[in-house]
Amino acid sequence: MQKPSPEPEEAGRANARPDLLAGQHFPPPPRQERSRRKRDALLQSALALFAERGYEETSIEEIARQAGVAVGGFYQHFASKRQILLVLMDRLLQEASMLTLEARSADLPDIRDGIARLLRQAFQVDWGYAGAYRAWREAAVLDGELQVMQQQIEAWTAGQLALLFQALRQLPGARPGVDTEMLAWELALLLLRLAETPLPESDAVVASLTSLIYHSLFADPA
């Protein structure tokens, strides 16, 4: 089976990952291993509390306490609760970016199985950050800057999917005339909502989305 062709370099630059940390003023980055561990503990604590309680109901004091860090230690690494949310979402986009890069260069001996594998990997990343998704959507309601960033995330996600779909359509059996950009937008919005809550029937979700994508892009064998 052929390998999907990677997107042109120009398209990659045009669909660059949103930089959520641009313009943010963070405390100096930790140099000692102990300080780095404390920062990571704060991030994991915030992620868990956001998933459990949401953004507004989670306080800096609770994040610090669950991480085993003094409140003053929180401010050594983050200027605010909003800032720790930005870091979590930026980490998520970094991992998602690596996943889509691997997906567009992967061998697909069986197209349906390959799509299913990519979806499972995507959900594994997304559901690992479900708390960040929940907190982000809640915080963005009253934060115009986060709303703009959310639009950038949606556009970037749709762009990544469109590039993947365009590569898949180079494979044998692809349907002609498919509007890959519209398909990518529809699926991007759906995936972003599904990412907020890990689902117990994940295999069924993956199977359903695999069928949707496959039949949208490929004709059934005669």
| pLDDT tens profile 64-94 | 999 999 999 999 999 999 999 999 999 999 9
Q: Is residue 4 part of a domain?
A: no
Q: Is residue 145 part of a domain?
A: yes
Q: What is the mean pLDDT of residues 36-48?
A: 96
Q: Is residue 159 part of a domain?
A: yes
The total of structural domains in the chain comes to 1
The pLDDT confidence band at residue 105, using thresholds 50, 70 and 90, is low
Q: Is residue 52 part of a domain?
A: no
The pLDDT confidence band at residue 100, using thresholds 50, 70 and 90, is confident
Q: List the structure tokens of 92.
A: 């998520």
Greater confidence (18 vs 14) lies with 18
Cβ neighbours of residue 189 closer than 8 Å, sequence gap 6 or more: 154, 158
Contact 185, 119 (CB under 8 A): no
What SS3 state is found at 174? strand
pLDDT value, residue 45: 98
The pLDDT confidence band at residue 101, using thresholds 50, 70 and 90, is confident
pLDDT value, residue 104: 62
pLDDT value, residue 73: 94
- Rounded-to-integer distance, Cα 20 and Cα 33, Å: 25
CATH of the domain at 195: 1.10.357.10
Q: Is residue 147 part of a domain?
A: yes
| pTM for this predicted structure | 0.87
- Rounded-to-integer distance, Cα 115 and Cα 151, Å: 26
Contact 111, 172 (CB under 8 A): no
Q: What is the mean pLDDT of residues 180-197?
A: 94
Does residue 147 register a pLDDT over 90? yes
The pLDDT confidence band at residue 108, using thresholds 50, 70 and 90, is low
Q: List the structure tokens of 208.
A: 């359903």
Q: What are phi and psi of 218, to 5 degrees?
A: -130, 145
Q: Is residue 55 part of a domain?
A: no
Q: Is residue 162 part of a domain?
A: yes
Residue pLDDT, tens place only, 155-184:
999 999 999 999 899 898 999 999 999 999
Q: Is residue 174 part of a domain?
A: yes
pLDDT value, residue 201: 84
- Segments forming the whole domain that contains residue 156: 81-217
What burial class does residue 12 get, using C-beta atoms within 10 Å of its C-beta: 0-12 exposed, 13-18 middle, 19+ buried? Answer: middle
